[in-house]
Each structure stands twice: as structure tokens, then as C-alpha cells.
Amino acid sequence: MKNIKYTALVFMSMALLFTGCDKSQKKNTKPHSYQTAKQTLRINICAEPGTLDPRKARNLNDLNVIKMLQEGLTRINFEGIVKLALAESIELSNDQKTYTIKIRDAKWSNGEPITSYDFAYAWKKALSPTFPAANAGLLYFIRNAQKVKEGQIPTSMLGVSTPDTGTLVVKLDRPTPFFKELLASPTFFPVHSVTDKAMPSWADNAETYIGCGPFKIKSWKHSNTLIVEKNDGYFDKNDVKLQEIHMSMVSAETGFNMYQNGELDWEGSPLSVLPLDAMDTLTENNQLKTQAILSTTFLRTNIRKAPFNSEKVRKAFAYALDRKSIIDDLLSGHPDFATGLVPKVMGLRESEYFTDNQSDEVKRLIESALNDSSIVRRDLNKIKLTFISREKNYRLAQVLQQQIKANLGIDIELDAVEAQVYFSRISSQDYQITICSWEADFRDPINFLEVFKTRDIGTNNTNWSNDKYLAMIEKSYDLQDPNERMALLQECESLLIDEMPIIPLYHGKMHYVKNSKVRDVVFSQSGGIDFKWAFIDNK
């Protein structure tokens, strides 16, 4: 791969997690241009947050709201560069495995000082074997973190120490070039340790919520509205222009109607979903905005349930699809079709792993699977496609159903369920084939490939594992040469697609509409959105 060295070095750069703003949001350099406009932003987050505890959150909307209310040791700035936030300084040892972090003089929203202990406490609590930390795996770069989470060793052996209230020392298992980037994610945020010990449910209500971010909760009417206001105790308050953000909790359809009626300033990704029927009209009227996102939508198969216990059947399903048609007809042509798991913008490969519409090969694979007795004919007559009951998913499922019928002669049943039921079935492997997606937590191919590292890892749920795949993933952690590392990760993806426990469909983009006066909103390619620097222009 001729560009692999360049792209590998790019991925190691801390500057590329955030994509910044679209052209219409180019940063306004004129001082005080916002001061004559009412600085209230109105958005829709669709539903009541599942949690605003940074250790527990997994839902993207919850994480985006938490970034309003909390702060990390680092934050990605407007230019897309990792900058110090609650960390006043970060020193890295010569072996690239020990970070000595000085905590700046900053305060919680209750006026008390933020200490190194608040960070260490939060991380150790998240790694407690019984604590429901959705993204605890991000902490596994810290020495002994996984063993602590699995209950193999005590928390005292975690590679985190606090020599004093202003110093945090973090030891890693191996050099991690993107660790400063990880420190900007909510999983690494502190919590007010005194409050958490006394009141574990502190994050559930406005009256008890304690944060340290650019905004603080003003009012919270559960399942209705959440209003946050500028936090005048925030260490970087001079960069915060908005006085309030009003968050509605209404359906995407209602939200879009509110936007059209001038009741919202923003609707669509990553906070909501635009109606599919409106996409073409919005595009024609130059109202639709798009933003690249490190995301892949795919079909997850359960390889212990017929007929997907057959690799040949899995490949037949993959080769029978027409991804370009799916995108053009269903998704307005914006996403990129996928034949691999890792988004193409990461440069892991230069060519596709396979082609679509392989009618002859599809028939051969099915007949071969029947002949070698890996499946029987009746297995092909009782296939159920499970997905979360949403408009976009349902339309996608219908197209897949039609294409499989046309190209394989196989009927599949559509099984639309509520999100809670869906995730319960996935985690217990109570399904045959399902529509899934994965968004990156940080900009590196390993964040996609680790999803299927082992059969037992909580993100896998296909029952697939491969010892060679695991060995290559483990080896990649220790490779210092970025060219060699990226080549090895490409081998991992190639092996995954060759055995096909998942069937890639497309790599995504965010779609949204906004009030033209809203400026300086920052996106991340992992689906994050940051309103710290946002303002309403007076022009």
C-alpha cells in the first residue's frame, strides 16, 4: 500500500480527531460580533438522557450533553487539536508509558476545588467489577486496568497514583500515542468524589448535579426539557459565548417540524435524525449540511445459529447486495458503501475487499453450503432480521429484504423491536442477523478492530473469534513503526472480512439543518458535537 506510511503518521497525530466546522461555520474573527444577539441555542435531543454520569454513559446524545456539563484533562479545540483543559501540564516519560499530570486551579460547580483525587476516584470506581461503566474498555490502556475490572487484582494495583491533590500520575501498559486524545473523552472525566460517595444518584437530578464544564444545569424537566446555562465558575469561561442551551426531548419528526417553524436552531445529526422523506428537498434547497463521521453500519451475524453458522452463507449474503443502490435510493447518496469495517478515510486499504451483485458466486456458495451439510434447505426459510424500530432502520431492512429475495431467492422476516429489547437480545446472542453500527471513540483503526478481538468481549456478540486475529491485534499494540503497524491492522481487517462474521454496508455521514446565525459549533469524527465556542451571530 503506497500511502500507508503517510496515513499511519497522520493517524498518530493528535490533531485529527475533530473535523472542525463546515464552511458556513468558519470561525468569526471579529471580536464581540455576538454580543448584540440573544445567546440562547435551541436544540432537540429526542429523549430523556439515560444518564449524565460520565462513567456510565454510552448513548451518543448522553455523551454530548455530558461534554456541556463536564470537563476533562484535555479538550479538542476549535482547530481540532488536543489542548490542555483541567490539566495545567502533562509530562511524558522517556519510555512513553508514564504521564505526570498537574491539575490546574479549577472548581466544581459547587465552588469546591477539583483535585487529582477526583480523577483517580472516578477511574477506579468505573473499573470496579460491579460498576456499570459502559466504556470502561477505554481505561484499559492504564496499567492493570483490565485485570482490575475483571476482579483479578485489587484496585490498589491500578497504574494511577496521586502524590498530592494537584498531581496525577498515570502508568500505561504500553506506549499509546493517542492517550492525550483519550483524556478528552467522558470516560476519563472526574467526578466530585465526596458527593459520589454520599449520593451515588447525584447525576439524576438538577438539584444534586455537580459538574465542571462550560455549562451547568439550570432546570431539568424529565422527559421534557433540559436547560443549561453558562458556568461562570468554569476555568475557561471567557471562551463560552452562549448564555443558555435549551434541549427539547421530542421525536425527530416533531423536532423537524419545530425547526421549520423557527422553534429550534438545530435539528438532525448527531443529536437527532432528519426525516428521510425530507432529505432530497433539503439537498435541492441547499439546506442540508453534512459532516464526515467515523462510523460503519453493518449486519452482525450469529455464527452459532443456522444458516449463519456457514461462512459460505454469510459470504453469499454479502456478495448478493447492491450497496450503491441502497445508498442512492435510501440514503440520498451521501454515505460511502463499505466492504470493510474500518472507514475508508482511515486509509487502511486502497481497494475493496469484494464486489457486489456476484450472482453466479452467490448461487455457487449457497449450493456448496447445502452440499457440504453445513446447513439444510429449511434453514434458509426461517431467517429473521432484527433491528431497532426506527424509520431509517425499517427502510434499510425492507431494501435488504427485497435484495435478498431477488438475488438469493430467500425470504427473510423483519423483526423491529424497541432499543432495550434489541440490546438485550444482542448481548445474549438471541438473534440470527441484525442491523448494527459502530462509531469510533478515537481516530485509530484499532478502535474498530478491537470490537471483535475475542468472542467474549462485550462489543462482539457474534460468537466469532480467531486466534490469529487476536495475536495480530496484540502484536499491533507494541509496534512502534507506524508503517508496520498499519500493515498489520490491514491484515486483521482482511481476515475479519474473509471469515465474514459481519457484513459491512456503508460508512456514515451526519446530516443536519441549522439556523444560519449559529456559528462555531465543533464536530468530531466520532460523532461528538461541542457547543463550548458556539454563538448566535447578530448579523
What pTM, to 2 d.p., does this model score?
0.76
One pLDDT digit (tens) per residue for the chain, 539 residues: 333 322 232 333 333 333 445 434 444 444 455 565 689 999 999 999 999 999 999 888 899 999 999 999 999 887 778 999 999 999 999 999 999 999 999 999 999 999 999 999 999 999 999 999 988 989 999 999 999 999 999 999 999 999 999 999 999 998 888 899 899 999 999 999 999 999 999 999 999 999 999 999 999 999 999 999 999 999 999 999 999 999 999 998 999 999 999 999 999 988 998 887 888 788 888 899 888 788 899 999 999 999 999 999 999 999 999 998 888 777 665 668 899 999 988 888 888 999 999 999 999 999 999 998 889 999 998 899 999 998 889 989 999 999 999 999 999 999 999 988 998 999 899 999 999 998 887 778 998 999 999 998 878 999 999 999 999 999 998 887 888 999 999 999 999 999 999 999 999 888 899 999 999 999 887 778 999 999 999 77
Q: What is the pLDDT of residue 347?
A: 81
Q: How many CB atoms lie within 10 A of CB 87?
A: 20
Q: Which helix (H) or strand (E) covers residue 12, if one does?
A: helix 4-12
Q: Which three cell numbers stand for residue 282?
A: 433539503
Cell numbers placing 370: 447445502
At 126, phi and psi to the nearest 5?
-60, -30
Q: What is the pLDDT of residue 32?
A: 52
- The CA-based dihedral angle spanning residues 283, 285, 289, 295, taken in that order and rounded to the nearest 10 degrees: -10
Please count the CA atoms within 13 angstroms of the CA of 76 that sit on its side-chain side: 31
Q: Where are the beta strands (DSSP E) in 120-230?
A: 160-164, 167-171, 215-221, 225-230
Amino acid at 395: R
Pairing of strands 383-388, 289-301: unpaired
**Strand bridging mode 167-171 / 98-103:** antiparallel
Residue 350: predicted pLDDT: 81
Whether the Cβ atoms of residue 342 and residue 445 lie closer than 8 Å to each other: yes
Q: How far apart are the first and last CA of the chain?
A: 49
- CATH top-level class of 291-510: alpha beta
Q: What is the DSSP string of 453-516?
A: SSTTSTTT-S----HHHHHHHHHHHH---HHHHHHHHHHHHHHHHHH-SEEEEEEEEEEEEE-T
Give the pLDDT score at 180: 94
Neighbouring CB atoms inside 10 A of 385's CB total 22
Instruction: Report pLDDT for 3.
Output: 34
CA distance 296 to 449: 12
How far is residue 404's CA from residue 418's CA, in Å, rounded to a whole number? 24
Domain spanning 52-58+67-203, CATH architecture: Alpha-Beta Complex (3.90)
Q: Where are the domains of the chain?
A: 52-58+67-203, 291-510
**φ, ψ at 88 (rounded to 5°):** -80, -30
Cβ(127)–Cβ(145) below 8 Å: yes
pLDDT in the model for residue 10: 30
Looking at residue 19, its pLDDT comes to 42
Q: How far is CA 539 from CA 27, 109, 358, 518, in A?
A: 14, 33, 55, 10
